[in-house]
Amino acid sequence: MLYREVGQYKTNYAADMALFPILQDRIGIAVILAIAFVLIPLSGNDFLLNAVMIPFLIFALAAIGLNLLTGYCGQLSLGTGAFMGVGAYACLKLTTFFPNVNIIVWIIASGFFSAAVGALFGLPSLRIKGFYLLVATLAAQFFLEWCFIRIPWLYNNVYSGNIVVPSRTLAGVPVTGPTATSLTRYLVVLSIVVIMTWVASNLVRGRIGRMWMAVRDMDLAAELIGIRLLRTKLLAFAVSSFYCGVAGAMLVFLWYGGAEPDVFNVDQSFISLFMVIIGGLGTMIGSFFGAALIYILPIALREVPAALGLPLYPATVEQLQFVIVGVLIIVFLVLEPNGLARLWQIGKQKLRVWPFPY
Amino acid sequence: MRLKHLALGLAVVMAVPAAVTAAQAENGIFLPQFTYRTGPFAGSGIPIGNGIHDYLTMLNERDGGIGGVKIISEECEDGYNTQRGVQCYDSVKDRHPVLVTPYSTGITEQLIPRAAVDKIPILSMAYGLSASADGTDFPWIFNAPDTYWDGASAFIRYAANKDGGFGKLKGKTIGLLYLDHPYGREPIPLLQALAKDYGFHLKLYPVPLSSMQSQSSEWLDIRRDRPEWLYIQGWGAMNPAAVQEAARNGFRMDHLVGVWWSGGDDDARPAGPGGKGYTTLDINNVGTNFPAIQDILKYVVNKGKSQTPKSQVGENLYDRAVLNAVLMVEPIRIAQKLTGKKEVTGADVRRGLEALNITEARWKELGLPNFAEPVHLTCSDHNGHSKIFVVKWNGTKWIKQPGSLEPIHSKVQPLIDAAAAQYVKAHAGWPKRTEPCQKSS
């Protein structure tokens, strides 16, 4: 009743090709953006901003990056953590050499370094597929992690080996470093994530995205209809790594404010892959769902016993949370192997015919 | 399609944000505790968490808190994961803790730049960034009673004492087996400097986080290099593995010396009789033979007010945690005296920390005679560089060795100054100290 597109005529191509062709979707996205840009900042809750929203958005962006590669182009990768690391270290070096350039420019620019490294490690993808490619990208993960620990130049020779984030300002307002408020950092992260999500969702609907999907569905057939595999796959690796690199730079500069190399270990790669798989391969919204399930759900679960007044030890809560999240992941995957995004789609379909289903 | 409905419903319920806990209205001094009772570092984390919890609970039960104000202590589980630790910090920050003790070098390093902004002092007791001993550059960070550089220099002094003087170290090979992590790498610059001065060869054996439980390749190298002395800078599951490997490889146990964090009872015990003679540096005494620890047993453990098994009370890491708790509480007491307020703030406690002076007599008053060396902090020295004990494992428990070791101050101080300067330089725009100095009380 509420969610029906009946009577919404598309009278030109632009309307037909719009990102959100249905009016209700447009209203919905406007409401979500209003909540994200106005309501959440107004709440002024530091914990919500700094410990929940900023990391959630950053992980969602990394998941989008991996989703472009794995979900849309069908290339499995376990190098996400390392590619995020390349972005972070590139951003550190760039802002060290050119401290006067706006840090946001460098955060975006660091994605290009990550893209180059990603394309390099994507080269084997022409020859090897599936799990074998997964192993090849794992090599990238270990090699880059080794670089982050063993090449002191990368972290400016700080003897502890940690990335140290200098204070940088945007129009006089501190954006990175300890004096930057969580609100500023949140708004910067949100803006970058919204714009990059918009770019990505248009990318996958266009020629490039269709090429990726053709390669994913059957690369031999794609080759026969004239898609050049090497270019397409390398482009997927490059774009995916670009997103991961920007996410990595934001992780260190806009969330942690400093990091040890261990942040970009193989766990990060696995977590990103889980986010994509649980959220839904080959969907934009799935990346957000996946990031929410893997990152926000544990935080929410930890608050439950306290909210109910249960006298549980924090360590017990921690163990319980591992069990519950693990079970939920299995439950969701058993009930809907195509991920949370598919559930969302089913929900929308049901809503469309509600209250008179046929 | 019932199941799909169920999943859909479940997803909707999940989407509803969890209710945020109402802020506690209770009055008192808020002292949050970051613990890691889960994960690969739990073996070290559990006795630490228990010791701090029990001492603070004992003060609440016996004295009604500090100066009549109840201590509100709350644990936040971080699993020794830096990301989770920062999350814990964010979750407690707005409730105005007077002091935080991250209990992880990684988390400490994340929080150092934020301390001055949030006005919450950080006590990283004998861990964290060695350079933060410099109070001029790090007014909000305290790492009493010793830095890792004090520790490593005390180890060299110990080795020299056993071998018959610093001159005897010349030409010898000394190894460092360390966790390849910011924490583990801390002693390297000092040992390198000492190697140059005393002419010994320093061999480094990094143990990656991912393989800390199987150190076979590192021990192959150790067997090849045959170092005279081996210093362990390990934590969590790395320690028992190192001691076991040493016993298996026939390394001379009395030449295997751990930093204080490698001295857990559960670190030495798994090696069985082969672990006998394993030596570690220490900053606290061991055992239950102290009035304050008897009080912990009486008011807390025997009454079932803690998770601590009775046998754990008096273990090395447990007593270490009691030392940590004392160093948390004493500055609050001093701050109460300095300000005349009962409910002090983070800024007051920072002043209290700078005026901290626990003499031998004060240790006795606290019910902990000879429990630790005197700790004296000043405005510029946030560490104290106290003397260091040595304890030896006798197969079943740690035995404190007579005497204590003086760190090699002349080597440590220049490194601290240089490291602090480097840190400030790397953090462009590091704030200058504006806090006035507290006159020593």
DSSP structure string for A165-207: PPPEEETTEEEESTTS-HHHHHHHHHHHHHHHHHHHHHHHHSH
Residue A228 has pLDDT above 90, yes or no: yes
Residues of A in contact with B207 (CB under 8 A): none
Residue B2 has pLDDT above 80, yes or no: no
Compute the distance between CA of residue B358 and CA of residue A4 in angstroms, rounded to an integer: 74
CB distance A160–B129 less than 8 Å? yes
Compute the distance between CA of residue A3 and CA of residue B271 in angstroms, rounded to an integer: 68
- B318-355: per-residue pLDDT in tens? 999 999 999 999 999 999 999 998 889 999 999 999 99
Compute the distance between CA of residue A35 and CA of residue A33 in angstroms, rounded to an integer: 5
Per the listing, tokens 């260190």 go with A252
Residues of A in contact with B20 (CB under 8 A): 45, 303, 307
Average pLDDT of every residue of chain B: 88
- B216-264: per-residue pLDDT in tens? 889 999 999 999 999 999 988 899 999 999 999 999 999 999 999 999 8
Q: How far is CA B228 from CA A124, A329, B124, B202, in A?
A: 47, 52, 32, 10
- Partner residue facing B90 (CB), from A46, A149, A306: A46
B23 — pLDDT class (breaks 50, 70, 90): very low
Compute the distance between CA of residue B276 and CA of residue B254 in angstroms, rounded to an integer: 8
Compute the distance between CA of residue B73 and CA of residue B32 in angstroms, rounded to an integer: 5
In this structure, the dihedral spanned by the alpha carbons of residues B237, B240, B241 and B242, taken in order and rounded to 10 degrees, is 120
Identify which has the larger pLDDT, B1 or A329. Answer: A329
Q: What is the mean pLDDT of residues A204-214?
A: 95
- B87-112: per-residue pLDDT in tens? 899 889 888 999 999 998 888 988 98
Q: For residue A119, with 0-12 CB atoms within 10 Å meaning exposed, 13-18 middle and 19 or more buried, which class applies?
A: buried
| DSSP symbol at B343 | S
State the best of A32, A157, A160 to mutate against chain B, taking most chain B CBs within 10 Å.
A160
B389 forms bridges with which residues in the sheet? B282
pLDDT score at B147: 93
A174 forms bridges with which residues in the sheet? A169
H-type alpha helices, B164-237: 182-185, 188-198, 216-225
- B292-309: per-residue pLDDT in tens? 999 999 999 999 988 899
Contacts of B435 (CB under 8 A, 6+ apart): B139, B350
- Domain spans, chain A: 45-265
Compute the distance between CA of residue A269 and CA of residue A290 in angstroms, rounded to an integer: 14
Q: Give the CATH superfamily of B29-147+288-384+417-426.
A: Response regulator (3.40.50.2300)
CB distance A161–B185 less than 8 Å? yes
Compute the distance between CA of residue B368 and CA of residue A155 in angstroms, rounded to an integer: 44
CA atoms within 13 A on the CB side of A229: 19
Q: What is the mean pLDDT of residues A163-178?
A: 84
CB distance A51–B428 less than 8 Å? no
CB distance B91–A47 less than 8 Å? yes
DSSP, residue by residue, B322-339: HHHHHHHHHHHHHHHHHH
Contacts of A295 (CB under 8 A, 6+ apart): A55, A56, A59, A275
Residue B441 has pLDDT above 50, yes or no: no
CB distance B182–A331 less than 8 Å? no
For residue A302, which of B87, B281, B246, B183 has the smallest C-alpha distance? B87
**What is the distance between the terminal CA atoms of chain B, rounded to a whole angstrom?**
74
| Domain B148-286+391-411 fold | Rossmann fold (3.40.50)
B204 forms bridges with which residues in the sheet? B176
Torsion-angle region of residue B96: left (phi > 0), alpha (psi -120 to 50) or beta?
left
CB distance A260–B182 less than 8 Å? yes
Compute the distance between CA of residue B437 and CA of residue B441 in angstroms, rounded to an integer: 12
pLDDT score at B8: 63
Q: How far is CA A8 from CA A13, A15, A22, A24, B392, in A?
A: 14, 10, 8, 10, 82
CB distance A178–B307 less than 8 Å? no
Residue A43 has pLDDT above 90, yes or no: no
**Start and end residues for every CATH 3.40.50.2300 domain found in chain B:** 29-147+288-384+417-426, 148-286+391-411
For residue B221, which of B204, B240, B243 has the smallest C-alpha distance? B204
- Partner residue facing A46 (CB), from B49, B76, B94: B94
* Kind plus residue range of the DSSP H or E element containing B299: none
Q: For residue B287, count other CB atoms closer than 10 A to its CB.
A: 16
B10 — pLDDT class (breaks 50, 70, 90): low
B116 — pLDDT class (breaks 50, 70, 90): confident
Residues of B in contact with A55 (CB under 8 A): 83
B321, B55 Cβ separation under 8 angstroms: yes
CA atoms within 13 A on the CB side of B245: 22
B34 — pLDDT class (breaks 50, 70, 90): very high
CB distance B90–A50 less than 8 Å? yes
Q: What is the mean pLDDT of residues B52-63?
A: 94
- Partner residue facing A258 (CB), from B75, B77, B110: B110
Compute the distance between CA of residue A342 and CA of residue A322 in angstroms, rounded to an integer: 25
pLDDT score at B17: 41
Q: For residue A7, count other CB atoms closer than 10 A to its CB.
A: 6
State the best of B57, B76, B86, B132 to mutate against chain A, taking most chain A CBs within 10 Å.
B86
Compute the distance between CA of residue B3 and CA of residue B210 in angstroms, rounded to an integer: 40
Encoded tokens for B413: 């101080």
Q: What is the mean pLDDT of residues B176-198?
A: 90
Q: For residue B310, count other CB atoms closer than 10 A to its CB.
A: 10
Contacts of B237 (CB under 8 A, 6+ apart): B40, B41, B43, B212, B213
Residue A263 φ/ψ, nearest 5 degrees: -60, -35
Residue B393 φ/ψ, nearest 5 degrees: -85, 125
Per the listing, tokens 């958005």 go with A57
Torsion-angle region of residue B429: left (phi > 0), alpha (psi -120 to 50) or beta?
left
B16 — pLDDT class (breaks 50, 70, 90): very low
Question: Can you give the length of chain B in residues?
Answer: 441
Q: Is B126 strand, coil or helix? A: coil
The amino acid sitting at A107 is I
Q: Over pLDDT 70: what percentage of chain B?
A: 93
Residues of B in contact with A256 (CB under 8 A): 82-83, 86, 110
Q: Which of A329-333, B4-8, B70-74, B409-413 has the lowest mean pLDDT?
A: B4-8
Residue B22 has pLDDT above 50, yes or no: no
pLDDT score at B6: 59
Q: How far is CA A249 from CA A59, A68, A109, A114, in A?
A: 12, 19, 10, 10
Q: Which residue of chain A is at minimal alpha-carbon distance from B3?
A: A335
Q: What is the mean pLDDT of residues B355-383?
A: 93
Compute the distance between CA of residue B185 and CA of residue A210 in angstroms, rounded to an integer: 49
A14 — pLDDT class (breaks 50, 70, 90): confident
Compute CA B219 distance to the chain's CA centroid, rounded to the nearest angstrom: 27
- Partner residue facing B429 (CB), from A166, A318, A340: A166
Residue B389 φ/ψ, nearest 5 degrees: -80, 165
State the best of B8, B35, B183, B211 to mutate against chain A, taking most chain A CBs within 10 Å.
B8
Encoded tokens for A64: 């989008």
pLDDT score at B5: 64
Average pLDDT of every residue of chain A: 90
Q: For residue A327, with 0-12 CB atoms within 10 Å meaning exposed, 13-18 middle and 19 or more buried, which class applies?
A: exposed
State the best of B2, B13, B21 to mutate against chain A, taking most chain A CBs within 10 Å.
B21
A185 — pLDDT class (breaks 50, 70, 90): very high
* Kind plus residue range of the DSSP H or E element containing A9: none
Residues of B in contact with A313 (CB under 8 A): 37, 75, 307
B278 — pLDDT class (breaks 50, 70, 90): very high
Q: What is the mean pLDDT of residues A94-118?
A: 94
A107, A250 Cβ separation under 8 angstroms: yes
